[in-house]
Amino acid sequence: MSRQAPTLEDVAREAGVSRATVSRVVNGVRNVDPAIQDLVRRAIERTGYAPNQAARQLVTRRTTTVALVVSGAGDASDSEQNAFATRVFADPFFGRVVGGVVGHLRPRRMHPVLMFAETPEARQEVVAYLRQGGADGALVVSTHPDDPLPALLAGAGLPAVLFARPGRPVPLSYVDLAHRDGGRLAAEHLLERGCRRIATVTGPLAVAASQERLAGFRDTLARHGHPYVPVAEGGFTVDSGMAAMTSLLAEHPDTDGVFTANDLMAQGAVQVLRNHGRRVPQDVAVVGFDDSSVAVTCRPRLTTVRQPVEEMAATMARLLDEHIKGARTEPTSVIFDPELVVRDSA
């Protein structure tokens, strides 16, 4: 005959406490003496007790699951949605977001569920999933400033936290970077290197972060007597960085310094410069943005503006946990500072 699974009563007997005390420890109730919590946890290990998650959810009204949603504003076809998902998984930025989120959730026995919301139907599915208790809340990474999902979540009164300030004001917490300061750091470094014919490859200019990085870069150069900065718009991909750098070289062949709004585009820019016989950094200095894995695999290694994505994502998860538990009832914002990381490209 198979051995019966250990029960709360078994744990209580082993620990020498009441069943109610064991239940409070298992369900994460805070007002239990730490010594008692430790006693109960050791008893759980000795007995091999495993909480019934369905029963636990009835008590706590929590699933210990959160939705990690990558969202946009498009009305994409099936093939476009698949292509979007492929781009997301290929982008080192998203991998860092996932790493930060999981790093915060795992020790708390919470788990992320990845969802994509690139169509009106998909966005409604996310809202319905949360309303029906499929997850306790949502961590949202928007890819478009006109993304309607944050407003849908706020309107439904669902716990949600955003990565980056929303394009439209909504009463939701978010984490973000001081992007203007990042542009300033890049400009100051290129000027300190002696660059005088400086250009920039921006991200999509519909994106607030791209606008802010460009504004900080331009403002700093203007304060140092550089009123005009050649600009080419990219799309945060290697190919778009190559196209933008090719355009800049054709129109401004004497360029001696370039700031690109992410590391993938910087990698593309370096490749084009090499193809045109320009040495990096001797002929053209290149500064990227993010300090992603690309920055250290690129040759030469990229000087870049660090965005602490993992820490930002962990803070996003912490804020959501606080909203879910009721420890935080009002929306808040947490803004991180960028940092210049000097390597070989500038």
Ramachandran sector of residue 312 (left: φ over 0; alpha: ψ -120 to 50; beta: rest): alpha
The one-letter amino acid code at 91 reads D
| Burial per residue of 194-228, b for 16 or more beta-carbon CB atoms within 10 angstroms, e otherwise | ebeebbbbbbbeebebbbbbbebbbebbeeeebee
- What pLDDT score was predicted for residue 2? 45
pLDDT tens, residue by residue, 101-122? 999 998 888 889 999 888 888 8
- Give the residue from 84, 235, 68 showing the smallest Cα distance to 149: 68
Q: Give me the residues paired with residue 258 across strands.
A: 199, 286
Distance CA 29, CA 333 (A): 27
> Model pTM?
0.78
C-beta of residue 112 within 8 angstroms of C-beta of residue 74: no
- What pLDDT score was predicted for residue 6? 80
- Give the residue from 65, 4, 5, 55 showing the smallest Cα distance to 26: 55
Using alpha carbons, list the distances in angstroms from residue 237 to 77, 107, 203, 225, 244.
Answer: 21, 34, 9, 31, 11
C-beta of residue 131 within 8 angstroms of C-beta of residue 158: yes
- Give the residue from 297, 246, 294 showing the smallest Cα distance to 269: 246
Per-residue pLDDT of the chain (346 residues; tens, 9 = 90+): 445 778 888 888 988 988 888 878 877 666 788 888 888 888 888 888 776 554 555 444 566 889 999 987 555 555 555 666 666 667 788 889 999 999 999 888 888 999 988 888 889 999 999 988 889 999 999 878 788 999 999 999 999 999 999 888 899 999 999 999 999 999 999 999 999 999 999 999 988 999 999 999 999 999 999 999 999 999 999 999 999 999 999 999 999 999 999 999 999 999 999 999 999 999 999 999 999 999 999 999 999 999 999 999 999 999 999 999 888 889 999 999 999 999 999 9
- What pLDDT score was predicted for residue 133? 85
Widest pairwise Cα distance in the chain: 85
- What pLDDT score was predicted for residue 60? 46
- What pLDDT score was predicted for residue 79? 54
